[in-house]
Amino acid sequence: MRGVRTLIFVFLIIVIAAVVGFLAYRQYIAPPPAAEQAPSYVEVYITAQPIPQGGKITADLLTTMQLPPENVIEVMYTLGEEGALLERYAKYPLDQGVVLTTAMVSESSSAVSIPGPSWASLISPGMTAISIPTNRFSLSGYAINNGAHVNLIACFLFADVDPAFQTILPNKTATLTGTGFMPESTIPIISLGVAAQDSSQGRLELDPSLQQPYYLLPSEVQRPRLSCQMLLQDVVVMKVGNFSREAEATIDTPAVPPTDAEGNPVPAAPPDIATLIVNPQDAITLTYLLNLQQTNPDNFAITQTRLTMTLRNPNDQSRQAPESATLQFLLSQYNIQVPAKLPYALQPPLYNLTSPLESALTP
């Protein structure tokens, strides 16, 4: 028993000595923990206000922001390098809060330093610009302007055509004469003649009451069928209206207004054209749609495709998959009921829809 007590006593002494030694080391020997150093930041220049393309950079257009040193690169302008920015020109339109780099500024106006028109630099690599005709309705009441993001909707008129003739149905009928054999001879007649009747091709039907066949003819030409669909989404409008033809003009420079015979400026007409930034494939598609034209009897060109732009939020990056709008879609989607044929009707008959204002002005 004495041996066990002695071992326990020695073990306790060793444990106490180890604890005392550890505390003494932490208190007097171990180096103090290094104090956490406050992170250092570098101030870089940013735009305090939007700067247009070709605009001169002045002190009131600049401010600074702090960045961690690992995020600062050589092409940025840091605090103390303000002299390298002042009296320079913006190569591109700069929004507020953009970190300035050497690639964004030039010693001369961008309209002179960049080959070609200054607004060509607004087109991203791989994209192209194309113009389409517009009016007050296709521009959403002129709410769409330079730099707007829009969706492009196209409407088409479809009609049935003869696959061989490529002409609209129904075909015209004619009488074929001159076939058969000569009288009292077995020699066939090989010449043919066509006598035009100029009547539309119809169809043969059977009257269910009289059980007699009759031939139906169309009462009018074929009615085209309308279909509308959203072709392009989130398209950037480069400019609404004509570009200026001045040598050092920017995209915001207005076109030279027309003048009368005395040289007085004439009020500019509303814009009838818009330039969009699209990819090359979409540019080809728009070119195809713009060339879908026909000529009416008055020799006036009418486009067979109606293009409409709708304004959208520039921060909206979403894409939708809408359905084409047709008569069948409207009836099913919005639960529109086709009126039944009743044995009574309102008097007087209504053949066309007019606005309430037009109805009120009619005597």
**340, HSE (Cβ side, Cα atoms, 13 Å):** 3
SS3 content of the chain, % helix, strand, coil (to 5): 20, 30, 50
Residue 238, in any domain of the structure: yes
Residues in the chain: 363
Domain for residue 103, yes or no?
yes
Q: Are residues 230 and 153 in the same domain?
A: yes
Q: Are residues 138 and 192 in the same domain?
A: no
* E strand intervals along the chain: 42-47, 62-67, 89-90, 105-106, 128-133, 149-158, 172-177, 193-200, 203-206, 213-216, 225-240, 273-278, 293-295, 301-303, 305-312
Tell whether 188 and 68 lie within a shared domain.
no
Residues 150 and 179 in one domain: no
Which residues constitute the domain of residue 176? Answer: 172-216
Residues 150 and 274 in one domain: yes
Instruction: Output the DSSP codes for 265-302.
Output: BPPPPPP-EEEEEE-HHHHHHHHHHHT-EEE-TTS-EE
- Please provide residue 359's backbone torsions phi and psi, each rounded to the nearest 5 degrees: -65, -35
The tens-digit pLDDT sequence of the chain (363 residues) is: 566 677 777 777 777 877 777 776 676 665 665 555 556 888 999 998 888 777 788 888 889 998 888 888 888 888 888 888 887 888 777 888 889 988 888 776 544 445 667 788 788 888 999 999 999 988 998 999 998 999 999 998 898 999 999 888 888 887 766 656 666 666 666 555 655 567 788 888 888 888 888 888 888 888 889 999 999 999 999 999 988 877 767 777 777 777 777 777 777 788 889 999 999 999 999 999 988 765 554 544 455 788 999 999 988 888 989 999 999 999 999 999 998 988 988 888 888 877 675 554 554
In a domain, 69, yes or no: yes
Are 94 and 117 part of one and the same domain?
yes
Q: Are 143 and 183 in a shared domain?
A: no
Q: Burial-class residue 43 by CB neighbours within 10 Å (0-12, 13-18, 19+).
A: middle
pTM: 0.62
In a domain, 351, yes or no: no
Report pLDDT for 301.
Answer: 45
Q: How far apart are CA 307 and CA 232, in angstroms?
A: 11
Asked if residue 141 and residue 289 are part of one domain, the reply reads yes
What type of residue is 41?
A: Y
Instruction: Tell me if 138 is assigned to some domain.
Output: yes
- Per DSSP bridges, beta strands 42-47 and 62-67 are antiparallel
Same domain, 134 and 206: no
Q: Are residues 300 and 249 in the same domain?
A: yes
Residue 19 within any structural domain of the chain? no
CATH code for the domain in which residue 86 is found: 3.90.1210.10
In terms of domains, do 47 and 176 share one? no
Number of domains in the chain: 3
Same domain, 296 and 236: yes
Q: Does 346 map to a domain?
A: no
60 within a domain of the structure (yes/no): yes
Which position has the token pair 């605090």? Answer: 79
